[in-house]
A and B are shown apart, each in its own frame.
Chain A
């Protein structure tokens, strides 16, 4: 057979081919191989990989973390220390705890050893932490705008003081000083330099209140108020839950007197007469809009009616219908009632003194034996100082934590009076307008960097201790005085010796040696001497004939303007604070601006709509239509329009302090006969809520006390209906260990917003700025929904804190394609930020709309350069020191939301585990719960039948928000109860 071959190998015998191959192999293995060997390949390969790696490695800067060589005993990496201190910014004083991680204060919490505040704090106290890390703080002593040293300052000042012309005054102008040590130091300083005069100027004046007590009781005091001892509170323009005197203390008292959770069957009734809708008015059981100019008339009428009942002769006044009714109620609640007024008019406050005296409030709801040391400034004294300056009797003014050039009510001519003083010294811890006019700017440390003490009421001593070394070249204001008076040592030494000499006594120390006493006081932050009380001044009364002046209402068709402090910004002292600026006003839910609040009726009359810019006595601001405002009243918040406050607050809104007028020697925060004209321009306010009606949905459920007593489930009937339908085809989650739950008592919540800031601070919630809020991009994990009900001229208001409801049947969980949000074995709806790809499907499907998307790079967690949206400077290295290292910073493009403070849960669980014990109920507190003055929020284990949460869940008032959707939320609300009789109302 013929051989067909397919390949050459088949044709040629095998051996030959192999031979051929071999020889070529050997040949190739010779000289040529040196250029292209395996070794070379590996060399080149290795080199290129290494250089690629090096080149790639060049991209990111190396950040070094250097461990401590000698570790301080109390510093444990990853463990927080708490230092007791106290907050005081010239308004309220609250004992606090400062949480310090790795040497940085990262959170402020109320000190729970204080019985007045019970460990709660306000939004402003929570936020004041961020002022510590304010990059615009004065960083070093300056003279004539040039940097100098403290030695130079001391030399200059000693020279000035030693050569002082004794005919002139050296005025130290401060905000109210509540520190006994500082007071002593000032006295010492005055003793050394007799020409030194100390004057007090408060940013917001309460001088008529003190004056009225001086007139009626012989002592210019502000008493302690006990709202919790009252069964009926009648307020006249006093926003005591938001800004008046001591809102944290009052909020706590108020809520405790209205709680129905622990078997209480009675609740305090609150009626508010007010000109604009305040936080307090929106919480009241009944509210009567009243022109500010008529306040005196209303109070005079009430006084006259009550005096008639008590048999005291005062002129008769035509009483409005509501006043007649409330007078009856007050009379029957004698001894258990309280009338307060926010007015700064002596006549009004005198009448209030008279009313409270007739109602026998002294000793019950008003404690004259515990006067508070806040707001000592007297407007008349300040007026007198200005006159002395004009008369050229003042040679120097030292402005110490007071900023009169911003807060001054008077016209520009009077502002120029200060210019007549030759030597002006500013001692401030924040940037101020007044510092611009001063020769010397001597920066003081922030209160978290300072030593100080206080005596708020007789016997209650607190200490302020630094939680961090001073960030800048600052010096205590007190140490300035000590240096200039030749007192040795630091201010700390001065406080300690003052305590040893003047405060340490047998009642306080309970037998302890001073050093022990000092250490325990420092640890606790406060000591209370319950034997130290002031003597009770007796009521002498004033000649009441003046009340006939107020026999008739004076308000007509003229426009009035009310100047009020809002909850976030207050008097404007802490305005340069992104957390506060971003915090929506609890009533209007607008942030980042002030505005002219206008009643709906008046807006309709003038044809104004929201956002129209109107000029009120020349000040142009946008209109906000505010239901519940008195008809012909406009209202503008003070505290805005700062000119030199730092990056955040400068030029936000307009300053309306210049509109404040003097009357009877006191600053009046309302102006009669204002003119307001539309300018034709418009402005978009940054509002976090644009729809104000519940649309008939059972979101906030409420009832009246009468109905509640008949049936505790009244107003909450729907809950039972929904419970009947509770069934599911799917398997339900099983919780073998803990099952966390949160109960929110809507009857306690006063809507103060402290929880919102606490949450932002705890969870590193980004600040997005005005423009982003306008676009509804705000990031708050917790918000306070506010709804109006009833007529727009005087609606009822309800509020509801809403955060992630941690549904057991969570709509968000099953729609996430990558399972980035899932359910924990303890009932928490979790977010794995690293896993999130940002489809926002969960956000769409959340019926509560509590999920927040990182629209931009707000935090600097992104790796893309030049794309940050950070209008408030929150990504500056200095401000980033405030971040809580236990909580991840979220990158652009991921969803975030309330985690029920999972880091706090985990910390306490681990502590209990390490200590080999069960977790105790109440040991874990979420940030919102911790700060709540009203104790409206309770966190705990639903699986533990004895936990507080489990007990609250048995309350007939409990319901889940949108429970009809069968989302089975772990956050449960208790319905609101109004102390109001349907048949017997004021109007």
Chain B
């Protein structure tokens, strides 16, 4: 097929259809390498430490965290928002990019979606364990009961419950839908045995018939249609936790778009961080190419710039509003006791992504890796700055206070990394990291082997 000379191939190397299957299937066969075991062990240790920290929290009380009468939320909710944000890339890539017919998404959507699910699982932990009375957490559901008590539908925290659980459900369905053809492929390649039975069960009797494909395609489209607004709604609702409050620095109408773009920004950064390692680790360099890198970095520039503009808009509005509390909140962010957090945020989120305007940088795996780490850090600090620096000095100076995390909070955060990577390591072992069927669907138009450059 002839394509425009400006279009680079998305899959490099001489890839036939069967070669694609073999190469992507390869990491799932044979005994896993030492690095895999080492990684999984490390992740499990972190997970265990996290579980221990959660145990301490529940047994002794939230007092084991660094919170106080002024600062009711700290690392816990910071991590919650951060993980939810990270969980935005997957659905964005698979749903919104599917609707926009972006072919480059096929190489990364599978792992990005998996990451989304794992990140949302990590995120979902925090609202639970930050409760003072976790065993009574079920009060948050509107279930019929003899005491005639009902939940408060005015509370953004309740909206969160629905938003996050819906998002997790739809993301999980979407991911699994996409997996079905590939599970079928794996099943067909396995000899008899328990493994085959499991994959056979998971494949839902996929035969690859035209009718199956037709249903699969339309279902994907429906789910994409459902998931696309969810990408926007989840972080919008998370931002409502802050925007609907009265606290200066929280009470801001700019929050929904600002949070959503921030989420996509951080999600893409996390996808990049992981994919750059994964492609090297399991030899998928031909499938995740500089073209993918560049496309993703472009989205990072776009969302990063939106975030930067949002920061500046906030400052302007604080000044323009004439509200002394608002003005103080922003001066305090930049020059108060947590100035360092603000400037880490500004540097990492506003300045570093601008480097991607330089083509060499946005096409460099090493540079992208470094910048993606910066963005991850910057976006964590953004949440920290919003939550902690707004709370620690609000209206009455008599109650102003300081916050620093305890080992328990740090432990839980490490624990969520443990959970995330444990799941990720299991994922790369048991499911294809790249959507085999979807990559094949773009081979004709985008693989180096098949395309011819027009003159």
Q: Is A845 an interface residue (CB 8 A)?
A: yes
Q: Is B401 an interface residue (CB 8 A)?
A: yes
C-alpha spacing A778/B398, complex, angstroms: 13
Q: Say which residue of B152, B161, B398 sits within 8 Å of A816 (CB atoms).
A: B152
| Residues A699 and B396 in contact, CB atoms below 8 Å apart | yes
| Residues A839 and B61 in contact, CB atoms below 8 Å apart | no
A144 to chain B, nearest CB (A): 44
Q: Say which residue of B72, B149, B398 sits within 8 Å of A786 (CB atoms).
A: B398
Question: How many of chain B's residues touch chain A, expressed as a range?
Answer: 35 or more
| Residues A695 and B68 in contact, CB atoms below 8 Å apart | no
B68 to chain A: which residues have CB within 8 Å?
Answer: 775-777
Q: Please encode chain A, from 756 to 794, with 1 for each CB lying within 8 Å of some chain B CB and 0 for all others.
A: 000000000000000010011110000101110000000
Of A295-303, A852-860, A930-938, the segment with at least 4 beta carbons within 8 Å of chain B is: A852-860
Q: Is B62 an interface residue (CB 8 A)?
A: yes
The answer to whether A811 and B61 touch (CB under 8 A), given A787-B397, A892-B132, is no
B137 to chain A: which residues have CB within 8 Å?
Answer: 837
Q: Say which residue of B60, B63, B149 sits within 8 Å of A835 (CB atoms).
A: B149
Of A68-76, A118-126, A284-292, A685-693, the segment with at least 4 beta carbons within 8 Å of chain B is: A685-693
What residue in chain A is nearest B328 (Cβ atoms)?
Answer: A695
The answer to whether A843 and B140 touch (CB under 8 A), given A856-B63, A867-B59, A869-B63, is no
What residue in chain A is nearest B161 (Cβ atoms)?
Answer: A817
The answer to whether A817 and B151 touch (CB under 8 A), given A691-B400, A837-B139, A856-B63, is yes
The answer to whether A845 and B245 touch (CB under 8 A), given A854-B61, A892-B132, is yes
| Residues B149 and A819 in contact, CB atoms below 8 Å apart | yes
What residue in chain A is nearest B136 (Cβ atoms)?
Answer: A837
| Residues B140 and A697 in contact, CB atoms below 8 Å apart | no
| Residues A693 and B61 in contact, CB atoms below 8 Å apart | no
CB contacts under 8 Å to A, within B91-139, are 127, 130-134, 136-137, 139
| Residues B246 and A845 in contact, CB atoms below 8 Å apart | yes
A780 to chain B, nearest CB (A): 10
B445 to chain A: which residues have CB within 8 Å?
Answer: none
The answer to whether A693 and B69 touch (CB under 8 A), given A817-B161, A838-B132, is no
C-alpha spacing A819/B134, complex, angstroms: 16
Q: Is B154 an interface residue (CB 8 A)?
A: yes
| Residues A819 and B150 in contact, CB atoms below 8 Å apart | yes
| Residues A787 and B398 in contact, CB atoms below 8 Å apart | yes
C-alpha spacing A851/B127, complex, angstroms: 20
Q: Is B158 an interface residue (CB 8 A)?
A: yes
Q: Is A615 an interface residue (CB 8 A)?
A: no
C-alpha spacing A84/B399, complex, angstroms: 39
CB contacts under 8 Å to B, within A829-882, are 835-841, 843-845, 847-849, 851-857, 864, 867, 869
| Residues B245 and A839 in contact, CB atoms below 8 Å apart | no
Q: Say which residue of B67, B154, B396 sits within 8 Å of A814 (CB atoms).
A: B154
What residue in chain A is nearest B150 (Cβ atoms)?
Answer: A819
CB contacts under 8 Å to B, within A882-903, are 891-895
The answer to whether A849 and B139 touch (CB under 8 A), given A689-B398, A691-B400, A814-B152, is no
Q: Is B435 an interface residue (CB 8 A)?
A: no
C-alpha spacing A841/B70, complex, angstroms: 11
A856 to chain B: which residues have CB within 8 Å?
Answer: 60-61, 63
B401 to chain A: which residues have CB within 8 Å?
Answer: 690, 776
Q: Say which residue of A690, A696, A818, A845 sits within 8 Å of B247 (CB atoms).
A: A845
C-alpha spacing A802/B396, complex, angstroms: 10
The answer to whether A844 and B72 touch (CB under 8 A), given A817-B140, A818-B140, is yes
Q: Is the interface of A mostly helix, strand, loop or mixed?
A: loop
| Residues A893 and B395 in contact, CB atoms below 8 Å apart | no
Q: Is A662 an interface residue (CB 8 A)?
A: no
A803 to chain B, nearest CB (A): 12
C-alpha spacing A780/B263, complex, angstroms: 39
| Residues B140 and A837 in contact, CB atoms below 8 Å apart | yes
| Residues B132 and A849 in contact, CB atoms below 8 Å apart | no
CB contacts under 8 Å to A, within B343-358, are none
C-alpha spacing A694/B328, complex, angstroms: 12
B397 to chain A: which residues have CB within 8 Å?
Answer: 691-695, 697, 699, 787
What residue in chain A is nearest B156 (Cβ atoms)?
Answer: A815
| Residues A849 and B69 in contact, CB atoms below 8 Å apart | yes
Q: Please encode chain B, from 49 to 82, with 1 for each CB lying within 8 Å of some chain A CB and 0 for all others.
A: 0000000000111110011111111000000000
The answer to whether A854 and B72 touch (CB under 8 A), given A802-B396, A802-B398, A849-B399, is no
Q: Say which residue of A775, A776, A839 sits within 8 Å of B157 (CB atoms).
A: A839
Q: Is A962 an interface residue (CB 8 A)?
A: yes
Q: Please encode chain A, from 386 to 406, with 1 for each CB lying within 8 Å of some chain B CB and 0 for all others.
A: 000000000000000000000
Q: Is B294 an interface residue (CB 8 A)?
A: no
The answer to whether A777 and B132 touch (CB under 8 A), given A691-B397, A845-B245, is no
C-alpha spacing A581/B68, complex, angstroms: 20
B151 to chain A: which residues have CB within 8 Å?
Answer: 817-819
B400 to chain A: which residues have CB within 8 Å?
Answer: 690-691
A836 to chain B, nearest CB (A): 7
A468 to chain B: which residues have CB within 8 Å?
Answer: none
Q: Say which residue of B61, B156, B241 sits within 8 Å of A893 (CB atoms).
A: B61
| Residues B132 and A691 in contact, CB atoms below 8 Å apart | no
C-alpha spacing A694/B399, complex, angstroms: 11
B97 to chain A, nearest CB (A): 34
Q: Is B394 an interface residue (CB 8 A)?
A: yes
CB contacts under 8 Å to B, within A408-460, are none
Other than the known A691-B398, A853-B67, what 9 A-B pairs have Cβ atoms closer than 8 Å?
A691-B400, A696-B324, A815-B245, A818-B140, A819-B149, A835-B149, A839-B127, A844-B72, A856-B63
Q: What are 19 A-B contacts defined by CB distance under 8 Å?
A: A689-B399, A699-B396, A786-B398, A819-B149, A819-B151, A819-B152, A837-B133, A837-B137, A838-B132, A838-B133, A840-B73, A841-B157, A848-B396, A854-B61, A855-B63, A855-B67, A867-B59, A893-B61, A967-B246
**A-contacting residues of B (Cβ < 8 Å)?**
59-63, 66-73, 127, 130-134, 136-137, 139-140, 149-152, 154-158, 161, 241, 244-247, 324-325, 328, 391, 393-402
**B-contacting residues of A (Cβ < 8 Å)?**
689-697, 699, 772, 775-778, 783, 785-787, 800, 802, 811, 814-819, 835-841, 843-845, 847-849, 851-857, 864, 867, 869, 891-895, 961-962, 965, 967
